[in-house]
């Protein structure tokens, strides 16, 4: 098996900036939508996580103190963390809002209209996603309750529509090519692979996805004696 350095095409002892750039480069090449494979994509992510753990002195990926790091940089302490930040900026919009306002997922100015509509933070806003988190995990780790059921690529409950950017698809057993062509993706196992992402979540209510839904896990599980 190749070493993490070899997987990312790096020489020994890369600094954080070299590591970040190599990861960005390789993760796009390894993306199944760009000629790579799920196995290759996972190998690149694993290599990045291993090397990051050995070269980064900051807190673990899902530690809430990430926000403190960002604040420190924005305050101008000059530690350079913002320049080496591999996280993706995610702007989200709830599909229910489109229904309420009569908007379409294909509206060119959809996110501009949403920004001007004074929407609640559960319906529209931004957060940062770590490359080790799925989009669903990233939303949950920041306090949002986005829909899901299987968490394993076998339903459309967690589906989102990509408005801008790209999400990996390491395990999709359910979305037909037509839905993929319409930029539908699964948030439970897709991770952001671009610096910025604009997504419409909660699209399980799209009529085209109705047949691909499973009962939501928290409410419809069977128990002994049911």
User: Could you list the residues that contact ligand FES (CB under 6 A)?
Assistant: 148-155, 157-158, 186, 188
Given the complex with ligand FES, which of 16 and 187 has the nearer CB atom?
187
Given the complex with ligand FES, which of 64 and 177 has the nearer CB atom?
177
**Enclosing H/E stretch for 93:** strand 88-94
Instruction: Tell me the residue nearest to ligand FES as measured from the CB.
Output: 188
For the bound state, the minimum distance from the C-beta of residue 190 to ligand FES, rounded and expressed in Å, comes to 9
For the bound state, the minimum distance from the C-beta of residue 211 to ligand FES, rounded and expressed in Å, comes to 14
Which tokens belong to 181?
């062509």
**How far, in Å, CA of 75 to CA of 72, rounded?**
5
Residue length, the chain? Answer: 226
Q: How many DSSP H helices and E strands does the chain contain?
A: 9, 5
For the bound state, the minimum distance from the C-beta of residue 29 to ligand FES, rounded and expressed in Å, comes to 25
| Contact present, 187 and 159 (Cβ < 8 Å) | yes
For the bound state, the minimum distance from the C-beta of residue 213 to ligand FES, rounded and expressed in Å, comes to 9
Given the complex with ligand FES, which of 8 and 186 has the nearer CB atom?
186
Tokens 């799209």, located at residue: 206
Interstrand relation of 196-201 and 184-186 (parallel, antiparallel or unpaired): unpaired
Given the complex with ligand FES, which of 7 and 156 has the nearer CB atom?
156
**How far, in Å, CA of 83 to CA of 22, rounded?**
14
């Amino acid at each position: 098996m190749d070493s993490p350095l070899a997987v990312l095409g790096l020489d020994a002892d890369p600094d954080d900036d070299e590591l970040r750039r190599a990861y960005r480069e390789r993760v796009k090449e390894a993306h199944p939508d760009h000629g790579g494979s799920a196995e290759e994509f996972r190998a690149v992510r694993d290599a990045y996580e291993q090397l990051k753990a050995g070269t980064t002195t900051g807190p673990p990926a899902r530690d809430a103190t990430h926000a403190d790091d960002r604040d420190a940089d924005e305050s101008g302490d000059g530690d350079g963390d913002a320049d080496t930040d591999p996280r993706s900026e995610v702007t989200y919009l709830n599909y229910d809002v489109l229904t309420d306002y009569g908007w379409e997922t294909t509206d060119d100015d959809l996110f501009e209209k949403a920004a001007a509509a004074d929407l609640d933070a559960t319906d529209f806003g931004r957060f940062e996603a770590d490359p080790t988190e799925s989009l669903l995990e990233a939303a949950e780790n920041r306090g949002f309750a986005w829909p899901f059921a299987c968490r394993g690529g076998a339903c459309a409950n967690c589906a989102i529509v990509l408005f801008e950017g790209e999400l990996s698809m390491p395990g999709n057993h359910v979305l037909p090519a037509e839905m993929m062509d319409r930029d539908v993706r699964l948030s439970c196992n897709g991770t952001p692979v671009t610096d910025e992402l604009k997504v419409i979540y909660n699209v399980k209510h799209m009529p085209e996805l109705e047949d691909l839904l499973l009962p939501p896990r928290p409410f419809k599980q069977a128990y002994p004696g049911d």
